Structure 1
Amino acid sequence: MTSNRGVAYKGPGEVEVVDLDYPTYELQDGPGVNPANVGRKLPHAAILKVVTTNICGSDQHMVRGRTTAPAGLILGHEITGEVVEVGPGVEFIQPGDLCSVPFNISCGRCVNCKTGRTEICLNVNPDRPGSAYGYVDMGGWVGGQAEYVLVPYADWNLLRFPDKDQALEKILDLTMLSDIFPTGFHGAVSAGVKPGSSVYIAGAGPVGLAAAVGAQLLGASVVIVADMQQERLDAARAFGCETVNVGEGDPREGIAKILGREEVDCGVDAVGFEAKGHGHGAKEAPATVLNSLMDITKAGGALGIPGLYVTGDPGGVDAAAQEGSLSLRLGLGWAKALSFTTGQCPVMRYHRQLMEAILHDRVQIAKAVNATPISLDDAPRGYAEFDSGVAKKFVIDPHNTTGLVAA
């Protein structure tokens, strides 16, 4: 039987590359697997040889010990791979197909999937609606930061690239289709970005930069990206964004210098629950971003919130934060008639269109987020560097399929 290795969460601040079982068409017991999912038969699944799998900021929350993720969990929900084997219930996907894997695991059969809400599928996670690979409280599906991974409901979930050779040439762009590009784009769409809009994006990590690219694709006139890390702000400026360093103070002043007014049409939270306050030496204050977005978004505007919020955070700054309760200025949001969109991005709503934009050279998302290929064995270093705030999106290439991994 073919061997397999993957990146395991060992405890706060520690990941390790470990040996693991080659995938089978049955969900096995393991860290984070809901007992109701153990032994689940998967004749509709495909086994993929992982071509690229990215380190995500959501992974980083777990690795910092800021969730209830169990030790031993195999990480990774951003997956692109080549199909090497299919189960007897797979009809259309074939071995040799190169595919993007939406991070949402969905069945394609429930009422939510049938209405396009694949992020809250009812049939794949006994804990609650919605599921993902290698993530806490998401049903226990094995993550894809590995050499091989199993994808259930393959005919439904997999996005097959039309030309394999062309796809391999653009693989660093296409690998972003599994999560951050659709997620950032969803943030911009749900914030109401239209041609001529002014947009404020809190957070210049990969999702924030993807939201900025998405806002530009939607026709925004001005895209303002805020962060505390100057290197990340420089990355945003490199593809035409305005920037505000909120480590220097309240964002209103920076917005006013750019627009001549202190409000924007649309706001996007690409930070999530580990947000810090504004100004020099700011400490963690998890409601800061949402409250500031309500303050600086015009009346009648909308907030897209792709940033992650959780129901359990052992490292929260207080008892309320530890259960995901934040001190929001909801009265302000109500008075301004603001709209809010939260939750996982329904990747399948966007990924085919964004694939076409990549294949036809409308966007260069890999360049925008500084995609940086590394080997599977180098994953612990990638996690450590990403945690330090570097302006990079680490792309793990377990088999050096890209030929871009440094020796």
Structure 2
Amino acid sequence: MAGNRAVVYVEPGKVEVRETDYPDLVLRDGPGVNPLNVGRKCEHGVILKVVTTNICGSDQHMVRGRTTAPSGLILGHEITGEVIEVGRDVEFMKKGDLVSVPFNIACGRCRSCKERDTHICEHVNPDRPGSAYGYVDMGGWVGGQSEYVMVPYADFQLLKFPNKEQAMEKILDLTMLSDIFPTGYHGAVSAGVKPGATVYIAGAGPVGLAAAHSAQLLGASVVIVGDLNAERLTQARSFGCETVNLREHPNLGEQIEQILGIPEVDCAIDCVGFEASGHGPGQGEAPATVLNSIMQVTRAGGRLGIPGLYVTGDPGAVDEDAKIGTLKIRLGLGWVKAHTFVTGQTPVMKYNRDLMMAILSGRAQIAKAVNATKISLDQAPEAYKAFDSGASRKFVIDPHGMTN
């Protein structure tokens, strides 16, 4: 039987590429696998030869030791691959199909899935609704930063590219359909971005850049991106965004007023999450900073999209409350301004087909927006370090050297 190699979380600050088991159509026991999921048969699944798999900021939370992820966990939830084996119960996916895998694992059978809320599927994670590949407390489904991976519920979940040759020409864009592009787009849709809207986006990492590009696609008149990292802000300006350096200029409202003439925007998107830092030079971690600041600068009646990750367990948090996800959020401010908040994982399947067509038509240029950078599987540990240090790149792993 063929072998397999994968990126594995070892300990805080350390990942390794290791030999691992070739996947089959059963969820076996292993690091992070929920005991109630062990032995789960997946004849509705497929085995993929991974074409591209991306490093995500959510992975970095685990690698920094900011979750309860166990050592040995195989990472990776952003997967694009070629079908090489199909289960007995798979009817529509065929060997050779090139597909995008939504990072949400969803059965297609439960009430949530039938209502298109595939991010809170009720059947794939015994602990709570919602699941993902290679992620802590998500049921233990094996991650896809590897050469080969098993994907369950293939007929329901997989997005097949209509033309394989055309797809390979745009693979650096299409690889973003598994998570980052739908996540950024979901943030923009949740925030109510529409033609003419003014938008503030907190965070110029890959998700923030994807949200900015999405806001442009939705017709925003001005997109303002704020961050503490000058390199990432330069990347945001490269495709037409206004920017605010919150390390140099901590008063967000004043900076927005200099751009728009008023100190508020129509809507805002949090693309930072629970590892937020205070604004200004020398500030440390302050996890409620972004949520409080976007309430301050969003107009009354505005909407807040919150695709940034928040967790219920953070062993490295700054205080005991934050360790269980309790943050000092000014909810009263949001209440008096009648804000709408939309939180949670992104239901990728609501958006990925439309975004695929935007990419294939040339309308969306997501790889350029997020500075997609191809690497080999063996380069993944160094890429994790570079990403953690603030590199303005979206690292795309090509395990088999299949892309140009």
Shared fold (TM-score, shorter chain, > 0.5): yes
Residue 237 (structure 2) pairs with residue 237 (structure 1): yes
Q: Deviations over 1:62-105 (max 9, x none)?
A: 00000000000000000000000000000000000000000000
For 2:66, the equivalent position in structure 1 comes to 66
Task: Report how far residue 253 of structure 1 moved.
Answer: 1.2
Structure 2 unpaired stretches of 5+:
none
Task: Report how far residue 363 of structure 1 moved.
Answer: 1.1
For 2:2, the equivalent position in structure 1 comes to 2
For 1:313, the equivalent position in structure 2 comes to 314
The 3-state SS of whatever aligns with 1:378 is helix
Show structure 1 runs of 4+ deviating over 6 A: none
For 1:34, the equivalent position in structure 2 comes to 34
Report the AA paired with residue 3 of structure 1.
G
For 2:206, the equivalent position in structure 1 comes to 206
Trace 1:137-176 onto structure 2 (pairs within 5 A).
Answer: 137-176=137-176
Residue 353 (structure 2) pairs with residue 368 (structure 1): no
The 3-state SS of whatever aligns with 2:48 is strand
Task: Report how far residue 250 of structure 1 moved.
Answer: 1.6
Following the alignment from structure 1 to structure 2, what is the Cα–Cα distance between the partners of residues 348 and 378? 30
Residue 51 (structure 2) pairs with residue 51 (structure 1): yes
For normalisation by structure 2, the TM-score amounts to: 0.99
Residue 284 (structure 2) pairs with residue 297 (structure 1): no
Report the AA paired with residue 94 of structure 1.
K
For 2:104, the equivalent position in structure 1 comes to 104
Q: Deviations over 1:23-50 (max 9, x none)?
A: 1111100000011000001100000000
For normalisation by structure 1, the TM-score amounts to: 0.99
Structure 1 unpaired stretches of 5+:
none
For 2:221, the equivalent position in structure 1 comes to 221
For 1:19, the equivalent position in structure 2 comes to 19
Following the alignment from structure 2 to structure 1, what is the Cα–Cα distance between the partners of residues 52 and 287? 32
For 2:335, the equivalent position in structure 1 comes to 334
Following the alignment from structure 1 to structure 2, what is the Cα–Cα distance between the partners of residues 22 and 228? 42
Report the AA paired with residue 308 of structure 1.
L
For 1:384, the equivalent position in structure 2 comes to 385
Report the AA paired with residue 74 of structure 1.
I
Trace 1:339-354 onto structure 2 (pairs within 5 A).
Answer: 339-354=340-355
Q: Deviations over 1:129-182 (max 9, x none)?
A: 000000000000000000000000000110000000000000000000000000
For 1:117, the equivalent position in structure 2 comes to 117
For 1:188, the equivalent position in structure 2 comes to 188
Residue 91 (structure 2) pairs with residue 87 (structure 1): no
The 3-state SS of whatever aligns with 1:299 is strand
Task: Report how far residue 183 of structure 1 moved.
Answer: 0.1
Report the AA paired with residue 198 of structure 1.
T
Following the alignment from structure 1 to structure 2, what is the Cα–Cα distance between the partners of residues 334 and 5? 50
The 3-state SS of whatever aligns with 1:247 is coil
Report the AA paired with residue 59 of structure 2.
D
Following the alignment from structure 1 to structure 2, what is the Cα–Cα distance between the partners of residues 155 and 285? 43
How many residues are treated as equivalent by the alignment?
403
For 1:267, the equivalent position in structure 2 comes to 268
The 3-state SS of whatever aligns with 2:321 is helix
- Equivalent pairs: percent with the same residue? 72
CA RMSD of aligned residues (A): 0.4
Following the alignment from structure 2 to structure 1, what is the Cα–Cα distance between the partners of residues 209 and 103? 19
Q: Deviations over 1:223-272 (max 9, x none)?
A: 00000111100100010000001112121111001000000000000000
Following the alignment from structure 1 to structure 2, what is the Cα–Cα distance between the partners of residues 366 and 340? 28
The 3-state SS of whatever aligns with 2:167 is helix
Q: Deviations over 1:114-139 (max 9, x none)?
A: 00000000000001100000000000
The 3-state SS of whatever aligns with 1:88 is coil
